[in-house]
Amino acid sequence: MSRRKKGRKVDGWVILDKPLGMTSTQAVNVVRRLFDAQKAGHGGTLDPLATGILPIALGEATKTVPYVMDGTKTYRFTLKFGEQRTTDDAEGEVIARSDVRPSQAAIEAALPHFIGLIDQVPPQFSAIKVGGERAYDLARDGETVDLAPRQIRIFDFRLAGFINPDEAVFEVKSGKGAYMRSLGRDLALHLGSRGHISALRRLSVGGFTEEKAISLDALKDVISLDAENLISLDAQGALGHIPAAFKHLLPIETALDDIPALALSATEAIRLRSGQPVGLLHRQDRDRFREFTPGGMVCAMSEGKLVALTRYEAGELVPVRVINH
């Protein structure tokens, strides 16, 4: 007999405005306990010293996490010139200094060098695995971690202003896998200075924006618990205390707004749920798919709910991930 999963079947997305000082894993665990969900994950790590949008997937929404992580992200960060640090943010130790403070003109002239498809070396203190171990674990043990450059895409990189001669604020629109800490470090070096990120906020992940986000403090208000009770909340019976929290649970398909959707009949939905492809047998079927790209992804919907993520191939919808509501 299989062991019953702990928690309840809760499916959807919570768009958390992650607070300063909390890891992404800690944030996921808090939200999972809050909703008493069987399963949870997140759509892209945020460092403890970063704040902002952390999409948290509950239940069947975890099947759509890869599509969220592939989405475009926007950030705002403060770059402090004069000190390079081991972690490339304010948490690390100073390893180099510079008296150079770039002018606005120099910065704006340098930014185009970092737009487009570029090579970037991730920070030594990152979650990338090296020989089966996390780079940050090796770095904390005093080892020098040599990470290979990765190709990333920066869509937009602009100077938003100066706080003082030592600190400038930037806004970035990037693709998957871009490290803002590395971007700040490399910009400072390009300008003949040294630097590290002293503040970082993620403004959006794909279609998830600040307007859709809720803070942990707001969730605490919803369930009338203080911070200590929230962290140690007993999953058993949690839902009985927080029915209002479910208004902050977004449908699974919210993560897939940029993927074309198609409404299916009940019979077609049953075929997809059983793992079988849906063929386009009639002319009206072909007309429905005229706008879709061969090999492209399609959200198969039935009665307003996501049935499966599918791929359109050779006149058929082929199930890729079936969603079990």
Q: Which residues are catalytic?
A: 47
> 111 CB contacts (<8 Å, ≥6 apart)?
157, 158, 159, 187
User: Is residue 214 classed exposed, middle or buried when 0-12, 13-18 and 19+ CB atoms within 10 A define those classes?
Assistant: middle
Asked if 316 and 277 count as a contact pair (C-beta separation under 8 A), the reply is: yes
> Which CA distances in Å does 54 have to 127, 135, 273?
16, 22, 30
Closest CA to 188 of 164, 200, 215, 170: 170
DSSP assigned state of 19: P
Residue 89 forms beta bridges with which residues?
Answer: 197
* Alpha carbon separation from 2 to 5, 69, 92 (Å, rounded): 9, 32, 46
Look-up of token digits 């090296």: 130
Please name the amino acid found at residue 171.
Answer: E
Phi, psi angles (nearest 5°) of residue 165: -60, -25
